[in-house]
Copies of this chain bind each other. A is one copy, B any other.
Amino acid sequence: MTYSQAVLNGNRLALARLLTQVENNTPEGRAALVELFPHTGKAHLIGVTGAPGTGKSSLVNQLALLYRKVENWRVAIVAVDPSSPFTGGAVLGDRVRMRDLSGDPNVFIRSMATRGSLGGLAQSTANMTQVFDAAGFDAVIIETVGAGQSEVEVARLAHTTLVVDAPGMGDDIQAIKAGILEIADILVINKADRPGVENTEKALKSMLELAHPTERVFRHHGLTMRTPLDQTTGKPAPAQDSSSTAMWIPPILRTVSIESKGIMELAASIARHVAHLRQSGGWALRERARLEVELETLTREALWNQFHEKVPQEEYKIVLEKVVQRNISPWEAVNELMKGRLK
């Protein structure tokens, strides 16, 4: 039996092994992905990102527990840690989770700390997610540490993206918030029992409102939805046709994950977002955008591999040496390498 058949049959050990194959990008892993692909497209992919220290992992745990208890969903968690700890940070994170979720066969947690290119990390995460999707998990929660560009790209795999904040995170964080607000479907203020929660909420609200002086722009997965503001009131103009304009104003929720507070409300908000996506056609748009990015990434990789088959390593090194000696610029070097080839 192939990996993919075993995974489709619900074999947990095969799933674990296949995930390793996929993470390592082995031929077996790639073959299984091709076989599993027709079975994908059912799971709800939930991205969770935000600055360090906001309690994302604990929030993800609580959400997974709730999905288990209330919805009886099968839940997968992919914890992406692009900082690639060599001291085992990701493993430590797992241990913390295990206390609540261990022993439940309908929960599968996987940490990724893959190094290398960003494309590699985002692609690996996308592939892992597809395996869980094909394996019949109802929800796949993709959690990323930090809030840099790479995490944002990983979070963009999701149908619904939560951006987690917490009171008292300092000024420097503000700049980061601005960037990730664009990808937020739901804003969560975790640790909401801390002092300063009102200020955090006020700051988030004004950042949402000040996004653009004359229009509100929500940029999702390459899709820009502009809602013109009423020039008199400065408020968003009433949508002409709410189902086609696909307007979703990110709600701001408060949670205290270590006390399980606000998790029901968060799950309800996520459910409303899914309903909105289904109704507005946003779900299909996001699926398409995601697959478009994936196709481009894979094509770029194939082109690079093909180039390396054609240009002898020896020749490449000679050209590189000319650049290192500053005899030619990198741009001239590329022209030299491409010239007369790959017609």
Contacts and interface: CB of A to CB of B under 8 A. Distances in A.
Interface string A114-133: 00011101000000000000
Interface in A5-64: 30, 33-34, 37-38, 40-41, 51-57
A83 B179 contact: yes
A58 to B, nearest CB: 10
Give the interface centre of A119, A148, A287, A320 by most chain B CB atoms within 10 Å. Answer: A148
Contact of A83 (B147, B292, B307, B323): B147
A326 interface: yes
Copies of this chain in its oligomeric complex: 2
B89 A342 contact: no
Contact of A84 (B179, B304, B342): B179
A87 interface: yes
Contacts of A179: 81-86, 89
A166 B30 CA distance: 43
Contacts of A288: 320, 324
Q: How large is the interface on A (under 10, 10 to 19, 20 to 34, 35 or more residues)?
A: 35 or more
Nearest to A335: B302
Nearest to A54: B172
Given A145-B175, A148-B83, A304 B300 contact: yes
Given A92-B175, A295-B320, 13 more contacts: A34-B332, A52-B173, A53-B169, A83-B175, A84-B178, A85-B179, A86-B179, A89-B179, A121-B149, A148-B151, A299-B338, A303-B304, A303-B307
25 contacts: A37-B329, A38-B329, A52-B173, A52-B176, A53-B170, A53-B171, A57-B172, A82-B149, A83-B147, A83-B176, A84-B179, A85-B175, A86-B217, A145-B172, A146-B146, A146-B147, A146-B148, A148-B148, A148-B151, A150-B150, A287-B324, A291-B320, A295-B334, A302-B334, A302-B338
